[in-house]
Amino acid sequence: ETGVTQTPRHLVMGMTNKKSLKCEQHLGHNAMYWYKQSAKKPLELMFVYSLEERVENNSVPSRFSPECPNSSHLFLHLHTLQPEDSALYLCASSPEPGLLGANVLTFGAGSRLTVL
Q: Please answer whether residues 70 and 78 qualify as being in contact, where contact means their C-beta atoms are separated by less than 8 angstroms.
A: no
> Which of these segments, 12-20, 48-56, 61-69, 76-84, binds other proteins (CB under 8 A)?
48-56
User: What is the total count of residues that contact other proteins (CB under 8 A)?
Assistant: 29
Give, as one character, the DSSP assignment of residue 85.
G
Query: Residue 16 corresponds to which amino acid?
Result: T
SS3 14: coil
> Which of these segments, 11-19, 41-49, 63-71, 79-87, binds other proteins (CB under 8 A)?
41-49
CA distance 11 to 100: 36
Q: Please answer whether residues 55 and 95 qualify as being in contact, where contact means their C-beta atoms are separated by less than 8 angstroms.
A: no
Among 13, 17, 43, 52, binds other proteins (CB under 8 A): 43
> Which of these segments, 13-21, 60-68, 72-80, 89-97, binds other proteins (CB under 8 A)?
89-97
Kindly calculate the radius of gyration of the chain based on its CA atoms and give it in whole angstroms: 14
Which residues lie near other proteins (CB under 8 A)? Answer: 2, 4, 31, 33, 35, 42-43, 45, 48, 55-56, 90-92, 94, 97-110
